[in-house]
Amino acid sequence: MLPKGFQYAGVYAGLKDNGKKDMGVIVSERKAVCAGVTTTNLACAACVKRARKILRRGAAKAIIVNTKYANACTGKQGERDDAEYAKIAEKLFGGPVLTASTGVIGQNMPLDNIRRGAELLKKELRDDYDAFAEAILTTDLVVKKISKTVQILGRDVTVAGVAKGSGMIHPDMATMLAFITTDADIDRGLLQRIIREVTAISFNQITVDGDTSTNDMCLCLANGLSGVRIDRQALPIFQAALTEVLIYLAKAIAADGEGATKLMEVNVTGARSLKEARLAAKAVAGSPLVKCAVYGGDDNWGRVIAAVGRSGARFDPEKVRMNWDGLQSKTVTINIDLANGRESAQAWGCDLTEGYIKINTKYN
């Protein structure tokens, strides 16, 4: 089941060279509350700057997405193009429209294709998100989508999510985009707060190669059409559903990292603070040496402890306990007890393989 009152579409607009779908749209039946987080990269794309403005106002009617052109580091022309992009979409779907781009940095968007693509999208709108999920992929190998319905006071509330991970057609930036829709009726401030909280334990705890993109965004639209108000009593149930959706997508992105053959899950317990737990888990998931060990099926605890040691987390190396699980399977779990407190955190990554090098080296 998908959230009430949203339509999705995905089409080929002639942006990609391989004829695969390259533009997508999500349209809410009525203007929705919006919230989200955007990249911390200073060299952010035009669409990111625009999204930040709309997020501050807190309402949007649609999200339009294109691949192949990140429209980052494209200067004033890029900002004009993005404004035109939004204008085209707003004419078709109502406004405001959030734009999201991914692809090559520094190249201007072909607005004619974008316009044609947007018109096609309008014709293809439907109640399922399959074509949309396909259209936002770049070199991702698998579609990443999930929907979760929970009951609150006897009524259904649904949260759906679609994401793309690290990968690109023309070797360039790995961009993470996630689009969440829900029919919950929720205040903008509350939605923003929980999106931020849940992002911190999901998308912000995955790492493929440590490179933060110019275009990363997680955007959420909540249109209220379930009729269920997210008050203090409903919040835990709603937040749990949102958490399930975001963690599922985060893990799917990590597992589909460039060249990855295995998902790595790192569980840190016994940390002095939440911050330290997160730092430790992420340092291990991001360590090239640990990633190579996971690839090789080698439970190399020295590399793990060295990664934790440089993470900023405090612990006594002699008290640390760790175990590896699933070394020969598709998901390798590394459990680390820092024995220094009560806080815990998870992080996800993938192994580092020759495939990553191949994908990211131009001539080979």
Give CA torsion, residues 237, 136, 64, 170, to 10 deg. 140
Minimum CB separation of residue 360 from a copy of itself in Å reads 4
Strand-strand pairing, 343-350 and 331-337: unpaired
Residue type, 21: K
**Binding of a copy of itself by 352 (CB under 8 A):** yes
Which of these is catalytic: 39, 99, 175, 269? 175
User: What is the per-residue DSSP string for 302-334?
Assistant: HHHHHHHHTTT----TTT-EEEEE-TTSSEEEE
**Binding of a copy of itself by 322 (CB under 8 A):** no
Interacting span for a copy of itself (CB under 8 A) from 51-59, 240-248, 265-273, 284-292: 284-292
**Binding of a copy of itself by 218 (CB under 8 A):** no
**Binding of a copy of itself by 296 (CB under 8 A):** yes
Please say whether the beta carbons of 189 and 148 come within 8 A: no
**Binding of a copy of itself by 212 (CB under 8 A):** yes
Sequence ranges of the binding site for substrate: 138, 164, 175, 258, 360
Among 30, 314, 330, 342, binds a copy of itself (CB under 8 A): 314
**Binding of a copy of itself by 186 (CB under 8 A):** no
Please say whether the beta carbons of 237 and 305 come within 8 A: no
Among 94, 106, 110, 341, binds a copy of itself (CB under 8 A): 106
Minimum CB separation of residue 263 from a copy of itself in Å reads 17
Interacting span for a copy of itself (CB under 8 A) from 14-22, 151-159, 168-176, 267-275: 168-176
Please say whether the beta carbons of 221 and 181 come within 8 A: yes
d(CA 41, CA 73): 12
DSSP type of residue 69: B
**Binding of a copy of itself by 298 (CB under 8 A):** yes
Please say whether the beta carbons of 95 and 64 come within 8 A: no
Among 25, 97, 98, 105, binds a copy of itself (CB under 8 A): 105
Please say whether the beta carbons of 64 and 10 come within 8 A: no
Among 35, 98, 104, 190, binds a copy of itself (CB under 8 A): 104
Interacting span for a copy of itself (CB under 8 A) from 12-20, 51-59, 124-132, 210-218: 210-218
Q: Which helix (H) or strand (E) holds 286?
A: helix 274-286
Tokens 């929705």 locate to 32
181, β-bridge pairs: 160, 221
Q: Is 39 a catalytic residue?
A: no
Among residues 133, 126, 165, 164, the alpha carbon closest in space to that of 147 is found at: 133
Among residues 14, 23, 52, 11, the alpha carbon closest in space to that of 35 is found at: 52
Interacting span for a copy of itself (CB under 8 A) from 7-15, 136-144, 207-215, 227-235: 207-215
Neighbours of 104 (CB within 10 A): 18
Residue type, 165: G
d(CA 121, CA 332): 40
Among 22, 209, 265, 343, binds a copy of itself (CB under 8 A): 209
Among 218, 245, 247, 308, binds a copy of itself (CB under 8 A): 308
**Binding of a copy of itself by 23 (CB under 8 A):** no
- Residue closer to a copy of itself (CB basis): 106 or 110: 106
Minimum CB separation of residue 39 from a copy of itself in Å reads 8
- Residue closer to a copy of itself (CB basis): 82 or 183: 82
DSSP type of residue 170: S
Residue count, binding to a copy of itself (CB under 8 A): 58
d(CA 51, CA 82): 11
Helix, strand or coil, per DSSP, at residue 177: strand
**Binding of a copy of itself by 214 (CB under 8 A):** yes
**Binding of a copy of itself by 111 (CB under 8 A):** no
Residues lying near a copy of itself in the complex (CB under 8 A) are found at 40-44, 70, 72-73, 75-76, 104-106, 171-174, 209-214, 287-289, 292-293, 295-298, 300-303, 305-310, 313-315, 317-318, 352-354, 356-358, 360-364
What is the set of active-site residues?
A: 175
